[in-house]
Amino acid sequence: MCRWIAYQGEPIFLDTLVAEPAHSLIAQSLHAAECKAATNGDGFGVGWYGERDVPGLYRETRPAWSDENLRNLCAQVKSRLFFAHVRSSTGPATARANCHPFAVGNTMFMHNGQIGGYPAVKRRLEALIADDLYAHRAGSTDSEALFLTALTNGLTDDPIGAVARTLLDVQTLMRAASVSEPLRFAAATTDGTCIHAFRWASDGRAPSLYWRQTPRNLLIVSEPLDGERARWREVPQGCALIAMPGEPVRLAPIEMQQRRAA
């Protein structure tokens, strides 16, 4: 179980959210509130869009709370769309390649959750990844495999459909492997313009996910960055949140029966 934030709006310095708020993401790396693992110290990452099409990535194996480079970087870099993530491993090693966000081309992805019984399905899950995308498999997490499978399933063209297909694929593999643990998924993906966020679980206990929109920006977070609960809205379970720049957020159900259009 991890913690993450996604930002879209007027360009701001990353530290505005990553370091400054009372319950900033860095603070959550040491003391998360709504998460089984209070400590999210198994690496971290930030990914941001600047002048280039592809995002910048800074991922490191240290805990976020003690990384000078993270504080320095977040104090300098301004972005209109960025992701930040602190990791609490559910098994795989602490390694840069296992830290979120992941990026392929201009698409970025991060995740909080878990594939129950992952070791039993890992190999078959990887088999679902297209050949050209498999070259991007650098680590050993379920999250990276979910991303590459979702890309294979059409994430860049049809984010909600691709995620639904991927969750269905994984559930099928889990069932075939007689896995009884749940599949839980709170994730965000973006092409650098639009953000899609997802909250879903096979057992109805999806990881927490909140959002807050003002005329100036949108925040999507694992848990609120401040004590003003009234300002934050919960993403309903089973829903995707669609965030086009400058438009009000829309919610849509994640239709698990959805099949790729012919």
Q: Which residue numbers are catalytic?
A: 2
Structure tokens at 247: 């438009």
Number of CB atoms found within 10 A of residue 101's CB = 27
Q: How far is C-alpha 12 from the chain's CA centre?
A: 20
* Residue of 16, 20, 23, 30 interacting with a second copy (CB under 8 A): 30
CB 184 within 8 A of CB 201: yes
Amino acid at 158: D
123 binds a second copy (CB under 8 A): yes
Residue 137 Cβ vs a second copy, minimum distance, rounded to whole Å: 7
126 binds a second copy (CB under 8 A): yes
What residues are paired with 13 via a beta bridge?
Answer: 78
Residues 6+ positions from 230 with CB-CB distance below 8 Å? none
Please, which residue, 4 or 58, has the CB nearer to a second copy? 58
CB 11 within 8 A of CB 78: yes
CB 23 within 8 A of CB 38: no
Please, which residue, 42 or 209, has the CB nearer to a second copy? 42
178 binds a second copy (CB under 8 A): no
Residues 6+ positions from 259 with CB-CB distance below 8 Å? 165
* Residue of 12, 23, 34, 78 interacting with a second copy (CB under 8 A): 78
80 binds a second copy (CB under 8 A): no
68 binds a second copy (CB under 8 A): yes
* Residue of 16, 94, 156, 258 interacting with a second copy (CB under 8 A): 94
100 binds a second copy (CB under 8 A): no
Residue 12 Cβ vs a second copy, minimum distance, rounded to whole Å: 11
* Residue of 59, 111, 196, 199 interacting with a second copy (CB under 8 A): 59
Q: DSSP label at 85?
A: E
The count of residues interacting with a second copy (CB under 8 A) is 47
52 binds a second copy (CB under 8 A): yes
Ramachandran quadrant class, 117 (left: phi over 0; alpha: psi -120 to 50; beta: rest): left
Residues 6+ positions from 66 with CB-CB distance below 8 Å? none
Q: Which stretch binds a second copy (CB under 8 A): 74-82, 148-156, 166-174, 238-246?
A: 74-82
* Residue of 10, 33, 119, 204 interacting with a second copy (CB under 8 A): 119
What is the distance between the alpha carbons of residues 108 and 114, in angstroms, rounded to a whole number?
19
Please give the residue ranges that form the binding site for a second copy (CB under 8 A): 30, 39, 41-42, 48, 50-52, 54-63, 65-66, 68-69, 72-73, 75-78, 89, 92-97, 119, 122-123, 126-127, 131, 134-135, 137-140
